[in-house]
Homo-oligomer: A and B are copies of this chain.
Amino acid sequence: MTLRPIVNTTFRKLQNIVGDSNCSRAKEDLACYAYDATARTYMPDAVLFPKNTEEVSGILNLADKYGFFVIPRGSGSGMTGGSLAVKGGAVIVMTRFNRILKIDKENLVAHVQAGVVTGHLHKAVEKVGLFYPPDPSSSEFSTIGGNLAECAGGPRAVKYGVTRDYVLGLEAVLPTGEIINTGVQTAKGVVGYDMTRLLIGSEGTLGIITSTILRLLPLPETVKTMMVIFDKMEIAAEMVSEIIRRHIIPRTIEYMDNASIRCAESYLKTGLPIEAEALLIIEVDGKKKEADIAIKELKSLCMSHGATRVETAKTKEEAANLWKVRKAISPALFQYGPDKINEDIVVPRNRIPDMVRKINALRAKTGLTMASFGHAGDGNIHFNIMLDKKNKEDLKKADAAVETLFDYTLELEGTISGEHGVGITKAPYIAKEIGPVELALMKKIKKVFDPKGILNPCKIFP
């Protein structure tokens, strides 16, 4: 659908809603909100910074009346283009919704505005002995609203689940400007359809989330971190299954392949064994005694199953250093090429060895630089191809490799996205995973929420 541009009279109405200093059509401002982590760029026609739900509602009322696109945006750190103004329109930046409204220590619940940075929430609840488990890699800058919109995951999901598992209810503004409240403030609640989880993971296409009620846990008494080095990639991959088979559920089992190790080492120079084919970062938490027992058990399990070295962090600083290795990969990868193709496939945990073999074969066949790492504990592998997209030959090979990988993922009974969402980058592939009847249903649901197609166009559906 092509809607109308934001004409001067419309923009003045928007100014009236958010105030002159909270909206702009200046090129330099628009440019700041034209990109996301996909490195694709689409200039919006206006950028708006509402401060409360009523203002968001007012903006959507206008959009409904005058016919322009609205694109909700948190920190713009999405991996699939969810916050890009693909067809122009007004980008609504939610960063002024930055208040933690309540941390209820008695009921283990937090009321949080959508623009709160996830890492800030972590710190605030941890200060009072509580714990918000979802921890996407972007947590230092991504917002709770964005996390909900994409149903963010992260490394701790193997034990604690994902964002949707911690949301009790939410407030959102519909494309018609109507404000809705969904869900409950309690641990249980089954009155009416589950609108909360329909909005979670809907990638900003059904409504703009303005605040949410989150479930918290008591903060685990201790966290223990270890790094395990493997000569052979397949032994590492097999190890992941073996841990779960032994009924040990660490809070993270992060995986890095040789390319990731080399890459992190050349960036950090901490003496990682660059000949190692794989590395796992395993973290357990809980009561001090149990965590100590679990980490010992894991150490002997790894050593008896072919690991070449195990390093256990003795202090918080040592643990932070181990994580530095894992976190270095993403930025360090750019030494291999100016452009990154980054997919977040998931396979059943025990199919990781198959997937590793497939990726090795693809690397050998294409000659492209590929690095994989990620949340092996839940089968969620971040598969990266580094290239120069201006090299059309390479780009073609990379696109074909991604498609092959998606097909193989589905063959292994996996999914093409564990946490990044579909957005625009995976929209061309959605029909590989979702059948025509199911897709048609989803589109009808979109129509129920957004009859005029105003909100976040071109996302999810091809």
Contacts and interface: CB of A to CB of B under 8 A. Distances in A.
A150 interface: yes
A191 B426 contact: yes
A38 interface: no
Closest 4 CB pairs of A and B: A218-B247, A188-B418, A187-B378, A197-B197
A346 B378 contact: no
Interface in A315-336: none
A174 to B, nearest CB: 8
Contacts of A26: none
Interface of A: 104-109, 129, 150-151, 153, 157-158, 161-162, 164-165, 174, 178-182, 184-195, 197-198, 200-202, 206, 217-219, 241, 244-245, 247, 249, 286-287, 289-290, 293, 346-350, 375, 378-380, 413-422, 426, 430, 433-435, 437-439, 441-442, 444-446, 448-449, 460
Contacts of A178: 437
The interface centre, meaning the residue of A188, A290, A375, A419 with most chain B CB atoms within 10 A of its CB, is A188
Contact of A190 (B109, B245, B419): B419
Contacts of A181: 435, 438
A416 B247 CA distance: 38
A178 B161 CA distance: 31
Contacts of A445: 193, 445, 448
Nearest to A109: B348
A191 B379 contact: no
Contact of A186 (B107, B108, B346): B346
Given A186-B346, A290-B287, A413-B185, A448 B444 contact: yes
B441 A106 contact: no
A254 to B, nearest CB: 14
A427 B109 CA distance: 28
Contact of A349 (B106, B164, B219, B460): B106
Contacts of A449: 441
A437 B180 contact: yes
A348 B439 contact: no
A244 B104 CA distance: 12
Contact of A180 (B153, B161, B435): B435
A218 B435 contact: no
B346 A188 contact: yes
A243 to B, nearest CB: 11
Contact of A191 (B247, B433, B444): B433
A189 B346 contact: yes
B187 A193 contact: no
22 contacts: A105-B245, A106-B245, A106-B348, A161-B187, A164-B194, A164-B197, A184-B415, A185-B414, A187-B379, A188-B378, A188-B379, A189-B415, A190-B417, A190-B419, A191-B415, A191-B416, A191-B421, A192-B433, A192-B434, A193-B206, A194-B201, A217-B249
A414 B186 contact: yes
A188 B419 contact: yes
A106 B413 CA distance: 14
A438 B192 contact: yes
Nearest to A348: B107
A414 B415 CA distance: 36
A448 B245 CA distance: 42
Contacts of A174: 437, 441
A179 to B, nearest CB: 7
A375 B187 CA distance: 11
A300 to B, nearest CB: 17
Given A182-B438, A441-B448, 13 more contacts: A151-B194, A165-B165, A179-B437, A186-B378, A186-B415, A188-B380, A190-B421, A191-B417, A191-B433, A192-B422, A192-B430, A193-B201, A194-B198
